[in-house]
Amino acid sequence: MTLNTASCSALFLTAPASNQGKTTITAALARHFANQGKVVKVFKTGPDYLDPQILAQASGQPVEQLDIWMAGEEYCREMLFKAAQTADLILVEGAMGMFDGEPSSADLAAAFGIPMAIVMDVQGMAQTAAALALGLARFRPDVNVAGIIANRCGSERHAQLIREALPPDIPLLLSLKRNEEVTLPERHLGLVQAIEVKEELEVRFQAAVDWLAQAPDNQLLSLPRAIEFQAPNGEASVCAPLLKNKVIAIAKDEAFSFIYDANLQALKSLGAEVRFFSPLHDAKLPAADALWLPGGYPELHAHALSENTKMKQAIYHFYDLGKPILAECGGMLYSFETLTDLSQQTYPMIGMLRGNGVMRSKGGCQGMQTAPFPEGDIRGHAHHRSLSENTSEPIAYGKRQRHPAPGEAIFRNKGLTASYLHLFFSSNLVATATLFGGANE
């Protein structure tokens, strides 16, 4: 007999705005409980590749996305239910501010009954922090606020002023002193990839655990209360093995790492075998039926990518055979004729697509979009700081979530499909399988 609920301690970390310290504190809590031998499952709200890398290293577990629009409510329900069956603690890190976006972090927390802790940078305010927390907590009756976490608190007196101004049902869960030793390294698209600073992160995680332990009146050093997570309606999602006996080669190294773990699991659920390779370091492709060039930071490695002519030739040959290739964002820049980096140096790339990628220090595009492929709609998002110039005519444009203006251009040449869009495969498994050359049953 299958149980319809699973019980697990859970906490949703949110904030009034970005840059309040959510990722740092989520990572600190994850490592704190992992050090106690607890199984900590962390989820990240919305599209994000960089925070999950950090949180996965902190928790020792894969980190997956939860997004009601991109993945669907039933998918999110299934992921939480599965996690609750094996984890001691579920942590969810929100995106932007608590009520920002459609759907917002608050929408997600309310849908699954997860209590929210409001992380707030209280530098430069005291009782006002309590007023802001009260407004956030009372803004919607379906949101359960467990309390606030005062980050960058100046002193115990500072924390006391905030604590005394809060109502009894919104406690000060934790006050954390300013500490630059725990700050996570950043660059132009957000946090630095975990793979680049693995040892440094370990030092910062240990400092963060000590940071938590030294906090006065810390109410988060023991597991928060358990809540019940419901099983998905009906059976867990199952898809026909449309990619059975197919091998998909996936670029993965310092230049290409924007890969949702959920996407890998989706490909495997479709029956595919995945094999990784490095455009930076390898001289040839693994034997494969299809190729995936995901996003990342090719602009930081443009010279090395350009110099690896054997790999460029191997990928071009694969393309010339007409085999399926998906190139997302950074993968598309690699597919163009040239790429100009942030120092305005231009390097030759593979040349599967007509056009030039040009990095820019300001501006860019981000947001949720649907890719209207001939194979079917697949949801995803855009986040980039580059322009594509002198391109061929696109076959379609992404459909923005809320705005009528055309979204990102979608290009197709032979078996190559390329766009700035990062796709979430589980939003349409059949279309994803067909995109990679699977049989549409």
CATH of the domain at 317: 3.40.50.880
Most confident of 115-129, 183-197, 213-227: 115-129
Number of domains in the chain: 2
Residue 432 has pLDDT above 80, yes or no: yes
Q: Same structural domain for residues 178 and 33?
A: yes
- Segment 117-141 shows an average pLDDT of 96
Closest of 137, 138, 45, 139 to residue 91, by C-alpha? 45
Q: Same structural domain for residues 336 and 208?
A: no
Q: How far is CA 223 from CA 79, 219, 265, 351, in A?
A: 20, 9, 29, 53
CB 372 within 8 A of CB 417: no
Q: Same structural domain for residues 225 and 267?
A: no
**Is 329 part of the annotated catalytic residue set?**
yes
CB 165 within 8 A of CB 134: no
**Three-state DSSP string of 320-365:** HCCCCEEEECHHHHHHCCEEECCCCCEEECCCCCCCEEEECCCCCE
Packing angle of the helix pair 50-59, 22-35 (nearest 10 deg): 20
| pLDDT band at residue 265 using 50, 70 and 90 as cut-offs | very high
Q: Same structural domain for residues 281 and 421?
A: yes
pLDDT at 277: 98
| pLDDT band at residue 188 using 50, 70 and 90 as cut-offs | very low
Q: Same structural domain for residues 198 and 294?
A: no
Number of CB atoms found within 10 A of residue 381's CB: 24
User: Residue 56: inside a domain, yes or no?
Assistant: yes
Range of the domain at 344: 247-435
User: Residue 85: inside a domain, yes or no?
Assistant: yes
Question: pLDDT tens-digit profile of 150-183?
Answer: 999 989 999 999 999 999 999 999 998 887 766 7
The CATH number given to whatever domain includes residue 81 is: 3.40.50.300
- Segment 221-232 shows an average pLDDT of 92
User: Residue 39: inside a domain, yes or no?
Assistant: yes
User: Residue 236: inside a domain, yes or no?
Assistant: no
Q: Same structural domain for residues 64 and 167?
A: yes
- The residue from 8, 76, 153, 329 that is catalytic is 329
Question: pLDDT tens-digit profile of 285-336?
Answer: 999 999 999 999 999 999 999 999 999 999 999 999 999 999 999 999 999 9
**Choice among 30-34, 35-39, 95-99, 220-224 with the minimum mean pLDDT:** 220-224
Residue 35 has pLDDT above 90, yes or no: yes
Residue at a domain's end among 230, 259, 291 = 230
**Choice among 54-58, 190-194, 358-362 with the minimum mean pLDDT:** 190-194
Q: Same structural domain for residues 177 and 308?
A: no
Residue at a domain's end among 205, 230, 255 = 230
User: Residue 237: inside a domain, yes or no?
Assistant: no
User: Residue 104: inside a domain, yes or no?
Assistant: yes
The verdict on whether omega for the bond into residue 62 sits within 30 degrees of 0, i.e. cis, is: no
Question: pLDDT tens-digit profile of 64-90?
Answer: 999 999 989 999 999 999 999 999 999
- Segment 199-220 shows an average pLDDT of 85
Q: Same structural domain for residues 371 and 418?
A: yes
Number of CB atoms found within 10 A of residue 168's CB: 5
pLDDT at 199: 75
CB 62 within 8 A of CB 243: no
User: Residue 240: inside a domain, yes or no?
Assistant: no
pLDDT at 205: 86
Closest of 119, 130, 58 to residue 94, by C-alpha? 119
| pLDDT band at residue 104 using 50, 70 and 90 as cut-offs | very high
Q: Same structural domain for residues 188 and 306?
A: no
Distance CA 117, CA 137 (A): 10
The SS3 call for residue 387 is strand
Would you mind telling me the total number of residues written for the chain in this entry?
441
> Residue 58 corresponds to which tokens in the numbers above?
């902190």
Distance CA 269, CA 249 (A): 16
pLDDT at 187: 42
Q: What is the percent of the chain where pLDDT is above 70? A: 93
Residue 236 has pLDDT above 80, yes or no: no
Residue 1 has pLDDT above 50, yes or no: no
| Element housing 22 (H / E) | helix 22-35
**Backbone torsions φ then ψ of 273, nearest 5 degrees:** -100, 135
Q: Same structural domain for residues 214 and 328?
A: no
Q: Same structural domain for residues 225 and 339?
A: no
Residue 407 has pLDDT above 70, yes or no: yes
Residue 119 has pLDDT above 50, yes or no: yes
Q: Same structural domain for residues 104 and 175?
A: yes
CB 51 within 8 A of CB 188: no
Residue 186 has pLDDT above 70, yes or no: no
Question: pLDDT tens-digit profile of 131-151?
Answer: 999 999 999 999 999 999 999
| pLDDT band at residue 401 using 50, 70 and 90 as cut-offs | confident
Residue at a domain's end among 230, 261, 288 = 230
Q: How far is CA 274 from CA 70, 290, 406, in A?
A: 23, 10, 33
